[in-house]
Structure 1
Amino acid sequence: MVKQNDSWGSRTGLILAMAGNAVGLGNFLRFPVQAVQNGGGTFIIPYLVCFVVMGIPLLFTEWSIGRFGGKRGNHSTPYILDSMSKSVWWKYIGVFGIFTNIAVVAYYTYIESWTFLYVIHTVIGTFTQMSQAEVSSFFVQYVNLNGSNFGIPYLPVLVYILVLGINIYILSTGLGGIEKVAKIGMPLLILFGAVLAYKGWTMGAENASAAFPEANAWDGINFLWTPQFNSLLDPKVWLAAAGQIFFTLSVGMGSIQCYASYLKENEDIALNSLTSGFTNEFVEIVLGSAIVIPIAAGFLGLDWVIENAGFGMAFQTMPYLFMQWGEVFGAIAGICWFGLLFFAGITSSLAMGTPWMGFMQDEFGWGKAKGAVSFGILAFVMGLPTILFYQYGYFDEYDYWAGTVSLVVFALLEMILFTWVFGMDKGWSELNRGADIRIPEVFKWIMKYITPLLLLLVLTSALITPQGNDWVGAVSGLFDGVGWKLDSGSLISKLTHDDLKLLQLNDPQNGEIYEKKIFFSTLARVQLLALFLFIVSLVWYSGIKRKSISHE
């Protein structure tokens, strides 16, 4: 093993880097969409409860695990987890902490490349004279590789390589480079977000068009922030809220543990974890909720937003809406929006590279440049198919299995390790060592019992989601002898391609397209499995190396 000399330059840089890891595209794209799709204010109470009883405990756990492993010279999850138990299997559980980052960054960087290119298109005025339909079509043609953007065939691949190259270069400079990007990117992100949020908050009914005369931005804000207490009895909303916590805090990935492993032995992790967590929540709740939904509602009306809310709004609708403010301010708003998304993306993707680099440096003596380039090559090999076969669901398969299921599985297992195997008493002492604040004792009980139980419920719920998310009806049907009918979005249905087969059955005219989607989704899973087994083999070989060194 090689002794690590890399470390964080300042507490501010560390917190900004950690916040940048958490603050990502999900804060501005996924959160508002999830809120709208789950009833607006109906979503808020379960979301905030999940943040307290699941998000904060997971942050405490991952910072504690990371610092503990770092004291023993480990900077990636396989051996960070291995240092906490005598069982050899935990280092293989830790493979999730490298695998997830590589698999996610493969398609996450592709989204970054969209934001990068959209900044350029905004600056040169591509969207100025486009209708809403033309802006939407522009995005669809781009991701489906139809036509040539700027007259350059396969431009999406070239822009992807460029953005991936930027990530590789910054990673090759080590923690110092990441810290510098965080110190520049996070303030710019908040500045851009504040400009757009202010515009969203100050819009009234004056932007309504003839087609949507009753449009009002405050309808969107009120919809999001009027709590509905009946949501406390809706399992579907709780599941969505819990899922958002994973996306928004970047827990269950291994990047937080890696960052924390470079901390000094008595560095305050209790206050640091809370600071980075609440910074993320501020960005998501205050800024993330004040941009897409209010602005879209201000121009198109709340009913349109509820009916059309989706990930694509950021690229298929917002450029058109910005231009309704006039060519000059529309361009400024577009630069702020896509610049914000770019900085949100790159501060997260940089964090995803550090677990692989830490592992290769610890176990094989690789330097920063070699580690960064190898990470880039792996990301490119995994990511290229998500570009070439985007329309056949390759991207979606990565997002579901690596960016969703893997996070919950790993988070559940690491909570069990920290609270039950390592021991809650030892874990609590580790968390509080060097702390400038006193953590309420109730969190000791929450971390040991409530958080693991919630994670188990989230995983089980995703596994057997009933048809139409109707949990009450499913339980009644079970007692009535009808059986438990699975929803097409359940994990089991996804695994067996029942979701695609159902779409094929309902749309026989496009049967050939669904056949291709089934083929490419299977291929994506094979590629993900191959990546996981490749990392397992590296961990196995590194274990042999460690034993041989210890016997010398």
Structure 2
Amino acid sequence: MSGKADSWGSRVGLILAMAGNAVGLGNFLRFPVQAVQNGGGAFIIPYLICFVVMGIPLLFIEWSTGRFGGRYGNHSTPYILDTMAKGRIWKYIGVFGIFTNIAVASYYCYIESWTMSYVYHSVVGTFSSMDQAGIANFFNDYTTIGGESTTGIPFEAVVFYIVCLLLNTYILSKGLKGIEKVAKIGMPLLILFGVILAVRGLSLGTGGASEMFPDANAWDGINFLWTPQFDSLANPKVWLAAAGQIFFTLSVGMGTIHCYAAYLKSKDDVALNAVSAGFMNEFVEVVLGSLIVIPIAAGYLGLDWVLQNAGFGMAFQTMPYLFQQWGDVLSIFAGLFWFGLLFFAGITSSLAMGTPWMGFMRDEFNWSGTKGAWSFGLIALIMGLPTVFFFQEGVFDEYDYWAGTVSLVVFAFLETVLFSWIFGIKRGWAEINMGADIKVPIIFKYLILVVTPLLLGWVLFASVPDMANKIANNDTNNKEWFTDTYYAENFDEAGTKTGVVDSVATNFIKMSYLNEKKVYNKELDKLEAITFTDYKTYSFEEGQEPIVKVGQTIKANDEIAKGDFTNRVFYKTIGRLLLVGLFLFISFMVYVAFNKRRKEGRVHS
């Protein structure tokens, strides 16, 4: 039997903790990039529709499911789901709710540790003498373990990662009260820092224009994001991207919401709490998230530069350079506010990821909160170190794709089917409305029953070809783990373009090829594609030798170097095996718990 369950100290603390769980790095790093890459205003309408027809219903499902399971003394998804339906399979589907959190936390804390490091470097002035290329290279050097240290600390990235993980584990060991205290401090500071930077984004205008970027205008970035493009409603790619962003932004499909809600009392409201946490997250993402990175970057570098370079790395490879344009003193505060904001966004999310494992171990094996927290930290460290040491080799990206994307969609689809069609919408609707402080519109009953599972099923089905390509390693032409030949990668997605060798040395090859980029036509208020000469560079180590000549035409999959190669697919396969091993380990623990329950006469099904 489980020990005495933890509990929330106040409703405000619960809502802030739930909002902190949802408000994460994706609000500031992923949302603006997704919006830019999917047409700006063309993305917003599908995104907001997906929030209503998929995001809010999933919040209702997970809050009410968690409270229902908590009523029976269950505080993690394997046995929360087990209480809702007959059949042993549901407890193993619930494994996703623990697996996803440990796997995501293992690499998410690495990003979180970057924000800690960048706060330090912003305050001590590391970036003050660097140009844009220097700051971009700083990030690459930082994530190349064993390379030149930026502080003189050997393996600096590893040290910051371990410190970050230790901090998370220590706070988790204090239970819900520790999480609640961090949320009450972190969320207001996050919003304060965000508002300060958003005001700067709004007020920058053309003040950042220069000889190199004479057309730079922050308002171009804002207008691009917020000018509706109704033709996007017929573009399935934009809808898929919008639906995917909902998972990231609300932390649905992970199991953390279930766990937090499991500590509610039986008649505590879930409807208003769910909506409050959801809309607080949307305010941070849609309002603050859209007014910082894109406008400030457009204000100094121009909208066309943003369109061509929008990516996750902008936060770390571009923003410190832009802050330097504000002067020596203001740049320190800007760096502190920006990376401090990201740190609080990260830690309020990563703390939530530890609670499902802790709840499971307390419920099933009577572990204390301290023991559960430190065991979580240890597993996350074991899983996370490969993403740190082999970040450049793609292990981080494998974790993010399989644990941080695919796992969310699979679990969200299955839990929605369970709630709507097996547990039953009649019982589910009653559970949502039990103790509710608001009257939930009846339309959501039918959204949960029909629209949400269909939309989730479509997202899952549409993702199958991408999953198949990932498994087959179709993103590379170098598919062998170890080989003596290196092949040219594709110059375009289809693999039909060719390149020309521009320069060759003993340790690199530089090739030119024709590429397309998007530019914004102000007069026509639309994006246009133009052709330009792009470059692809390959770097080689000792024992690897280029075999091409300047002027040679190269096709995808042509041999370009000989020597001893350990390709990225080797490291990516290690990452996949670690994820499979983690899932099987948690499944085994659930099986052991089931046998323990059966001996104690606590088996539900």
1:494-509 matches, within 5 Å, as 494-501=470-477, 504=489, 506=556, 508-509=559-560
1:519 corresponding residue in structure 2: 570
2:582 corresponding residue in structure 1: 531
Please identify the structure whose Cα radius of gyration is greater.
2
1:86 Cα deviation after fit: 1.1
1:487 corresponding residue in structure 2: none
1:362-373 matches, within 5 Å, as 362-373=363-374
Extract structure 1 runs of 4+ deviating beyond 4 A. Answer: 510-515
1:433 corresponding residue in structure 2: 434
Q: State how far apart, in whole Å, the 2-side matches of 1:308 and 1:223 are.
A: 15
User: What letter corresponds to residue 110 of structure 1 in structure 2?
Assistant: Y
How far does the alpha carbon of each residue in 1:84-117 deviate from its partner, in whole angstroms, 9 at most, with x for none?
0111110000000000000000000000000000
1:59-458 matches, within 5 Å, as 59-145=59-145, 146-458=147-459
Gaps of 5+ in 1: 465-489
User: What letter corresponds to residue 425 of structure 1 in structure 2?
Assistant: K
Q: State how far apart, in whole Å, the 2-side matches of 1:304 and 1:106 are.
A: 33
SS of residue in 1 equivalent to 2:336:
helix
Larger RCO (alpha carbons 8 Å, 6+ apart): 1
Assess, with a 3 A threshold, how the Cα gap between structure 1 residues 511 and 292 changes in structure 2: closer, same or farther.
farther
SS of residue in 1 equivalent to 2:216:
coil
Greater percentage in strand: 2
2:549 corresponding residue in structure 1: none
Aligned alpha-carbon RMSD (Å): 1.4
User: What letter corresponds to residue 543 of structure 1 in structure 2?
Assistant: F
SS of residue in 2 equivalent to 1:498:
coil
SS of residue in 2 equivalent to 1:509:
strand
2:520 corresponding residue in structure 1: none
1:491 corresponding residue in structure 2: 467
How far does the alpha carbon of each residue in 1:425-455 deviate from its partner, in whole angstroms, 9 at most, with x for none?
0000000000011111111111011000000
Q: State how far apart, in whole Å, the 1-side matches of 2:592 and 2:454 are.
A: 35
Contact 1:31 1:244 in 2 (8 A): yes
1:348 Cα deviation after fit: 0.1
User: What letter corresponds to residue 542 of structure 1 in structure 2?
Assistant: A
**Larger deviation, residues 513-522 vs 43-52:** 513-522
1:514 Cα deviation after fit: 8.4
1:47 corresponding residue in structure 2: 47
User: What letter corresponds to residue 238 of structure 2 in structure 1?
Assistant: V
How far does the alpha carbon of each residue in 1:272-292 deviate from its partner, in whole angstroms, 9 at most, with x for none?
000000000000000000000
1:2 Cα deviation after fit: 1.2
Q: State how far apart, in whole Å, the 1-side matches of 2:443 and 2:276 are.
A: 19
1:162 Cα deviation after fit: 0.3
1:134 Cα deviation after fit: 0.2
Contact 1:504 1:514 in 2 (8 A): no
User: What letter corresponds to residue 578 of structure 2 in structure 1?
Assistant: Q
How far does the alpha carbon of each residue in 1:19-42 deviate from its partner, in whole angstroms, 9 at most, with x for none?
000000000000000000000000
The alignment status of 1:545 with 2:604, answered yes or no, reads no
Contact 1:116 1:342 in 2 (8 A): yes
Q: State how far apart, in whole Å, the 1-side matches of 2:564 and 2:103 are.
A: 25
Q: State how far apart, in whole Å, the 1-side matches of 2:127 and 2:564 are.
A: 31
1:494 Cα deviation after fit: 0.6
SS of residue in 2 equivalent to 1:392:
coil
Q: State how far apart, in whole Å, the 2-side matches of 1:355 and 1:307 are.
A: 40
1:4 Cα deviation after fit: 3.3
How far does the alpha carbon of each residue in 1:392-421 deviate from its partner, in whole angstroms, 9 at most, with x for none?
100000000000000000000000000001
Q: State how far apart, in whole Å, the 1-side matches of 2:184 and 2:436 are.
A: 24
Assess, with a 3 A threshold, how the Cα gap between structure 1 residues 142 and 245 changes in structure 2: closer, same or farther.
same
SS of residue in 2 equivalent to 1:144:
coil
1:513 Cα deviation after fit: 9.8
Assess, with a 3 A threshold, how the Cα gap between structure 1 residues 449 and 305 changes in structure 2: closer, same or farther.
same
1:207 Cα deviation after fit: 1.1
Assess, with a 3 A threshold, how the Cα gap between structure 1 residues 514 and 336 changes in structure 2: closer, same or farther.
farther
Assess, with a 3 A threshold, how the Cα gap between structure 1 residues 200 and 373 changes in structure 2: closer, same or farther.
same
1:457-472 matches, within 5 Å, as 457-464=458-465
**Larger deviation, residues 425-434 vs 510-519:** 510-519
Q: State how far apart, in whole Å, the 1-side matches of 2:292 and 2:227 are.
A: 17
Q: State how far apart, in whole Å, the 1-side matches of 2:464 and 2:5 are.
A: 43
Q: State how far apart, in whole Å, the 2-side matches of 1:431 and 1:531 are.
A: 33
User: What letter corresponds to residue 421 of structure 1 in structure 2?
Assistant: I
User: What letter corresponds to residue 49 of structure 2 in structure 1?
Assistant: V
1:171 Cα deviation after fit: 0.1
1:483 corresponding residue in structure 2: none
Q: State how far apart, in whole Å, the 2-side matches of 1:398 and 1:184 are.
A: 30
User: What letter corresponds to residue 334 of structure 1 in structure 2?
Assistant: G
Assess, with a 3 A threshold, how the Cα gap between structure 1 residues 14 and 106 changes in structure 2: closer, same or farther.
same
2:16 corresponding residue in structure 1: 16
Assess, with a 3 A threshold, how the Cα gap between structure 1 residues 514 and 267 changes in structure 2: closer, same or farther.
farther
SS of residue in 1 equivalent to 2:325:
helix
Q: State how far apart, in whole Å, the 2-side matches of 1:493 and 1:539 are.
A: 31
Contact 1:392 1:521 in 2 (8 A): yes
Greater percentage in helix: 1
1:3 Cα deviation after fit: 3.8
Assess, with a 3 A threshold, how the Cα gap between structure 1 residues 101 and 510 changes in structure 2: closer, same or farther.
farther
Contact 1:267 1:434 in 2 (8 A): yes
**Larger deviation, residues 151-160 vs 80-89:** 151-160
SS of residue in 2 equivalent to 1:325:
coil
Q: State how far apart, in whole Å, the 1-side matches of 2:357 and 2:134 are.
A: 41
Q: State how far apart, in whole Å, the 1-side matches of 2:453 and 2:4 are.
A: 33
Q: State how far apart, in whole Å, the 2-side matches of 1:84 and 1:501 are.
A: 47
Contact 1:203 1:295 in 2 (8 A): yes
Contact 1:504 1:511 in 2 (8 A): no
TM-score (norm 1): 0.94
Q: State how far apart, in whole Å, the 2-side matches of 1:132 and 1:213 are.
A: 17
Q: State how far apart, in whole Å, the 1-side matches of 2:441 and 2:359 are.
A: 33
Identity of aligned residues (%): 65
How far does the alpha carbon of each residue in 1:236-277 deviate from its partner, in whole angstroms, 9 at most, with x for none?
000000000000000000000000000011111000000000
Gaps of 5+ in 2: 479-487, 491-555
Q: State how far apart, in whole Å, the 1-side matches of 2:234 and 2:38 are.
A: 13
1:511 Cα deviation after fit: 8.6
Q: State how far apart, in whole Å, the 1-side matches of 2:602 and 2:85 are.
A: 21
Contact 1:3 1:73 in 2 (8 A): no
SS of residue in 2 equivalent to 1:391:
coil
Contact 1:41 1:228 in 2 (8 A): yes
Assess, with a 3 A threshold, how the Cα gap between structure 1 residues 86 and 97 changes in structure 2: closer, same or farther.
same
